[in-house]
Amino acid sequence: MTQSRPTMTVNPLTISNSETVAKRFPGVHVLGVKLSFETLTNVSWEAEIEQLHQRWIGKSRSDVLNSVKQQPYAEFMTALGLKVKKNPPSVANLITRCLTNEAPRLPRINPIVDAVNVAALQTEVSLGVFDAACVEGELQLSFSRAGESFLGLGAEKAEELADGLMVLRDQKKILSIFSVRDSQAQAISEKTKTVWLLACQVPGVSRDDTVTGLMRAVHNLEMIRDKHD
């Protein structure tokens, strides 16, 4: 495996919450850092995935949702009116798809996405990574308005959102349904050079744990930076 360099020192920013979000959910925050890359190298995450697989093999979806670190996200999704079996928290969904079957399987998407997905599995903190060039203006955590358009990653067509879903947006569009699904609009590609790396904190998840998840992702991203850049 590629040897890591010392993880860069970063100071996470707290993304602003709308007035309504701040009033209704004072324990909810998104922490973020902006990182740049020149060239990337592929890293095999097989050893990390195999170690994680030993913990989750044979577990049911309910086992995952009710686990110590995933239960706060599941309870928060329920408090927002979401059905967690239909729209599970992102990390619980990743664990269920990748680690509970007989053979572990981490879909290889892009070196950046893969590194962040592994960090999410390692720390069980809900993480996201956006192509910063596709983000217009400031980020904010707010609620959706009925009829707003959202094209989720992997979706064939956009959907109209219901009123009152917690979303992360920029000045022009919705970027993600909070801790559930990201938009196609800011998807990482082979042309991505700068990213927003984000971590979601909900009631029951401490800021320290959220920062740990973010820093693990930074560490993993350092591992894929080409040693000769």
Segment 44-90, tens digit of pLDDT: 999 999 999 999 999 999 999 999 999 999 999 999 888 998 889 99
Q: Residue 216: its pLDDT value, please?
A: 97
Q: Which residues pair with 30 in a beta bridge?
A: 200
Q: Residue 87: its pLDDT value, please?
A: 86
Question: Percentage of the chain with pLDDT > 70?
Answer: 94
The range of the structural domain enclosing residue 126 comes to: 13-224
Domain-embedded: residue 213: yes
Angle at 200 between CA 197 and CA 205, to 5 degrees: 135
Q: Residue 8: its pLDDT value, please?
A: 57
Q: Residue 40: its pLDDT value, please?
A: 85
Domain-embedded: residue 2: no
Q: Residue 9: its pLDDT value, please?
A: 61
Higher pLDDT residue, 125 or 38?
Answer: 125
The DSSP call for residue 222 is: H
Q: Is residue 199 predicted with pLDDT exceeding 70?
A: yes
Domain-embedded: residue 198: yes
The DSSP call for residue 42 is: -
Whole-angstrom Cα distance, residue 118 to residue 219? Answer: 11
What 3-state DSSP class applies to 208? helix
Q: Is residue 4 predicted with pLDDT exceeding 80?
A: no
pLDDT classification of 179: cutoffs 50, 70, 90 = confident
Domain-embedded: residue 212: yes
Q: Name the strands in the sheet holding 181-182, side by side, starting at the edge strand that comes first in the sequence.
A: 16-17, 140-143, 166-169, 174-177, 181-182
Q: What CATH number is given to the structural domain containing 170?
A: 3.50.40.10
Domain-embedded: residue 173: yes
Domain-embedded: residue 210: yes
What mean pLDDT do residues 173-198 have?
A: 93
The count of structural domains within the chain is 1
Domain-embedded: residue 7: no
37 CB-near residues (< 8 Å, 6+ apart): 112, 192, 193, 194, 195, 221, 225, 229
Domain-embedded: residue 1: no
